[in-house]
Amino acid sequence: MSAGELVRRAREDAGLSRSALAAKAGVPTSTVSRIEAGSSDPTLTMLSRLIAASGRHLSLTLDAIQDRPHRIAIETLTEAYTPDAKVRKVNWAQVRGFLDQLTEHRELTAEAIESPPHRTGDAAYDALLAGIAEKLADDAGIPRPRWTRSVSPSPTPWEAPGTPARTKRARAQAPTQLAARNIWLAAHDLWRNAA
């Protein structure tokens, strides 16, 4: 379950509106809305704060990580996209988690990007996945997967929401592999440890 779904479920179970939850947590209503919509990933502190404001307690468990993770595959990222949404809805935590795993296990990159993901019907999201696969291949010094050649660039620019200055910065910081596909998201928004 995503952080946004956890917040929404806790809020609804408590019978609170977004504005009521925001007031109890001492945050702007827009923060709750962005988190629930999946357009913003909250810190653990913020997530705990919102859950507590709904009268619940967030608990985490710490499990040992095996030396080799379960199979990492870009095709699983089609699950991070919600096709029924009126606006494009992406589980960014899932996308970043995939990229984090490959940062930790670079030796699995070729295997992770080998099989093409199913097409989602959203040309921009499909282009994003192809651009990510190409960047991963380029960073690892391996050939780009052949399936990316059949994925067209996004017909319309996909830009990060925000002020014109933020959009301009994201355009300047977009990896060339994404920019070539008309995807204008800054590298640090996807690769958390990007330089």
Measure the CA–CA gap between 57 and 42, rounded to whole angstroms.
16
For CA atoms 107, 2, 188, 122, the dihedral sign is positive
Please name each of the domains of the chain with its CATH number. 3-53 (1.10.260.40), 74-190 (no CATH)
Answer yes or no: is pLDDT of 167 > 60: yes
CB 158 within 8 A of CB 174: no
Going from the C-alpha of 33 to that of each of 29, 30, 93, 97, 115, the distances in angstroms are: 6, 5, 16, 22, 35
Mean pLDDT of 77-88: 81
Q: pLDDT digits over 110-151, tens only?
A: 999 999 999 998 999 999 999 999 999 999 999 999 999 999
**116: DSSP letter:** P
pLDDT at residue number 194: 47
The pLDDT mean for the chain works out to 88
Q: Band the pLDDT of 7: cuts 50, 70, 90.
A: very high
Please name the amino acid found at residue 55: G
Answer yes or no: is pLDDT of 19 > 90: yes
pLDDT at residue number 62: 67
Closest to 92 in 3D by CA, of 132, 56, 50? 132
Measure the CA–CA gap between 45 and 52, rounded to whole angstroms.
10
- Record the pTM: 0.65
Residue with tokens 């089609």: 78
